[in-house]
């Protein structure tokens, strides 16, 4: 069945076993699925607006006011990514233990504190410390994706994850317009000095973050069935309904095995009493229901199951490809305004910042495109190998564009902006396609896998910025880009042969 525009505002059809939506009501915040979708991307959006609020003003205003060298600016960029890496690792486990909603709100409220204190910075050391703690907001990506995965069925989860991530990531682009606009308004209309104006400007993201966290807590549930702590009992009820249905419709072998998943205080039984004998339509129905149930259940984090989820080649694949693609995005976001200002000095701080903002804004289109493509390919091929092939194809083309930009170092605006737009498509679509595969890899530890994959992206950003920091001076942007491109191509080729999910895992192909 093709796409129907009515699904954008109508209440979605629900999978009866896991209670997840089979469509995405993007324009219906009254519906609980639409409301969770809205707050997932909006919470991520305001977090990224604040996290990236410094770079648009660093090129001239903060650099002058705090008397910063180029190396000190680069150091502050790196520390901002380091905190996000740590928080993403912790946030994944927190999502599996406490649920994504509370983890999300907690990250926003903690990140609001350094945002409010931005105006107190007077030295380079103060900037570095504050940007480190503001990096907490970069961890908001993890609960954003885990929360979305919990509410949308696997048939649309790639699209849902890509949309929430893409719209949220666009915050890193909007802030390039927002912060200079607020700053200019305070200087020109309110008569504040430049030193005072940039400090006052940070009050705006603080208010947005705090208000969003409060709304999230007051208006949304943890899971489609309600509280996170009772999710296992709710799923057990649906499994019992499944067993009743199958018992009244089959006469299969009564001697079967039972498996279980420890998802908290209770253990949920996955009974398969009809799993022997001839394959029938009813048995196929049971297999599908078991798959849906196992997809929903999240294990209580333990050392054993966490290591089991992490120490697999499919997990390694996610880490490598996201290290390359999102690492590229983070590093480019941090240097693009300065790169444009260097090659096109006539643009000035505001002009170079506005053009640099386009890279982040394109996330609203290009990242969802990656997730949508991955879902379409999966529906037509019924194969996760197809999703994986898409990820590597996008990653390799990303590397090609980075090398082209680095070698050519365009001094023509149309050439530069055209190549950057092409690079943005392959970069951001690769990010979206990667998180269309993440929910398949280890659904019972989805928060953990999401967390380490997201952290790998931050690690990539840090490594790529360090490469630039120590490569013939921190302002040699072309060399940074072609090195990142070469690493990206090599990384994707290195893991292209690995299976998309662990062999024998239920629900995968």
And the tokens for 400?
């090609």
Q: Is the pLDDT of residue 298 over 70?
A: no
Tally Cβ neighbours within 10 Å of residue 66.
Answer: 20
Mean pLDDT of all residues in 262-276: 44
pLDDT of residue 258: 43
Q: Is the pLDDT of residue 247 over 60?
A: no
Between CA 367 and CA 389 the distance in angstroms is 17
Q: Is the pLDDT of residue 33 over 90?
A: yes
Name the residue with higher pLDDT: 173 or 221: 221
Between CA 287 and CA 205 the distance in angstroms is 48
Between CA 88 and CA 239 the distance in angstroms is 33
- Kindly state the percentage of the chain with pLDDT values over 90: 53
Mean pLDDT of all residues in 143-164: 91
Q: Is the pLDDT of residue 116 over 90?
A: yes
Tally Cβ neighbours within 10 Å of residue 404.
Answer: 16
Q: Is the pLDDT of residue 3 over 90?
A: no
Between CA 9 and CA 14 the distance in angstroms is 15
Sign of the CA dihedral with 89 first, then 92, 97, and 99 last: positive
Q: What is the DSSP letter of 210?
A: H
pLDDT of residue 455: 93
Main-chain phi, psi angles of 262, to 5 degrees:
-85, 105
pLDDT of residue 142: 93
Q: Is the pLDDT of residue 317 over 70?
A: yes
Mean pLDDT of all residues in 350-374: 89
pLDDT digits (tens, 9 = 90+) for 430-475: 999 999 999 888 888 888 999 999 999 989 998 998 887 776 555 6
Average pLDDT over all residues of the chain: 84
pLDDT of residue 230: 66
pLDDT of residue 465: 84
pLDDT of residue 352: 85
pLDDT digits (tens, 9 = 90+) for 318-356: 999 999 999 999 889 888 888 998 999 998 877 887 888
Task: Quickly state the pLDDT bin for 19 (edges 50, 70, 90).
Answer: confident
Q: Which residues pair with 271 in a beta bridge?
A: 258
pLDDT of residue 279: 39
Cα atoms in the Cβ-side hemisphere of radius 13 Å centred on 252: 23
pLDDT of residue 321: 97
pLDDT of residue 111: 95
And the tokens for 408?
């050519």
Between CA 73 and CA 67 the distance in angstroms is 10
- Residue 458, SS3 per DSSP: helix
Q: Is the pLDDT of residue 293 over 60?
A: no
Mean pLDDT of all residues in 235-246: 52
Mean pLDDT of all residues in 105-118: 95
Mean pLDDT of all residues in 398-416: 95
* 144: nearest Cα among 93, 116, 183, 105: 105
Q: Is 28 left (phi over 0), alpha (psi -120 to 50) or beta?
A: beta
Q: Produce one character per residue of 476-488: b if its CB has 16 or more CB atoms within 10 Å, e if not.
A: ebebbbbbbbebb
């Amino acid at each position: 069945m093709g796409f129907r525009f009515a699904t954008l505002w109508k209440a979605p059809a629900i999978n009866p076993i896991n209670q997840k939506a089979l469509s995405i009501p993007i324009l219906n915040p009254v519906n609980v699925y639409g409301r969770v979708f809205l707050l997932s991307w909006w919470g991520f959006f305001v977090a990224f607006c604040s996290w990236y609020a410094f770079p648009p003003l660093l090129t001239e205003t903060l650099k002058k006011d705090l008397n910063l060298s180029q190396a000190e600016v680069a150091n502050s960029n790196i520390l901002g990514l380091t905190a996000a890496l740590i928080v993403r690792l912790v946030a994944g486990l927190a999502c599996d233990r406490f649920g994504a909603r509370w983890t999300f709100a907690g990250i926003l409220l903690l990140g609001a504190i350094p945002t409010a204190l931005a105006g107190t910075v007077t030295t380079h050391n103060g900037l570095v410390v504050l940007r480190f703690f503001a990096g907490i907001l970069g961890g908001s990506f993890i609960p954003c994706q885990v929360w979305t995965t919990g509410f949308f069925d696997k048939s649309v989860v790639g699209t849902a994850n890509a949309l929430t991530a893409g719209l949220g990531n666009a915050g890193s682009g909007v802030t390039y317009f927002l912060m200079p606009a607020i700053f200019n308004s305070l200087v020109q209309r309110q008569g504040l000095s430049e030193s005072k104006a940039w400090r006052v400007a940070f009050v705006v993201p603080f208010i947005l973050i705090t208000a969003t966290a409060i709304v999230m807590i007051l208006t949304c549930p943890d899971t489609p069935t309600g509280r996170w702590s009772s999710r296992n009992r709710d799923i057990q009820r649906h499994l019992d309904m499944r067993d009743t249905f199958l018992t009244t419709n089959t006469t299969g072998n009564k001697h079967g095995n039972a498996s279980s998943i420890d998802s908290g205080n209770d253990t949920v039984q996955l009974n398969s009493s009809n799993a022997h004998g001839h394959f029938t339509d009813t048995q196929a129905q049971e297999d599908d229901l078991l798959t849906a149930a196992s997809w929903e259940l999240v294990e209580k984090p333990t050392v054993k199951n966490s290591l089991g989820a992490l120490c697999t080649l499919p997990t390694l694949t996610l880490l490598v490809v996201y290290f390359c693609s999102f690492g590229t995005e983070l590093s480019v976001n941090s240097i693009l305004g300065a790169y444009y200002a260097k090659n096109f000095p006539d643009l000035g701080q505001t002009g170079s910042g506005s053009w640099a903002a386009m890279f982040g804004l394109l996330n609203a289109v290009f990242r969802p495109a990656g997730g949508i493509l991955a879902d379409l390919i999966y529906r037509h091929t019924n194969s996760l190998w197809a999703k994986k092939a898409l990820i590597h194809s996008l990653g390799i083309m990303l590397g090609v564009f980075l090398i082209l930009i680095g070698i050519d170092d365009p001094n023509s605006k149309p050439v530069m902006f055209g190549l950057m737009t092409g690079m943005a498509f392959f970069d951001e679509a690769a990010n979206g396609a990667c998180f269309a595969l993440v929910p398949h890899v280890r659904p019972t530890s989805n928060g953990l896998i999401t967390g380490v994959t997201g952290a790998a992206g931050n690690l990539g950003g840090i490594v790529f910025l360090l490469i630039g920091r120590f490569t013939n001076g921190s302002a040699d942007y072309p060399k940074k880009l072609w090195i990142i491109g070469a690493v990206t191509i090599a990384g994707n080729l290195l893991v292209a042969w690995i299976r998309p999910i662990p062999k024998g895992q239920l629900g995968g192909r």
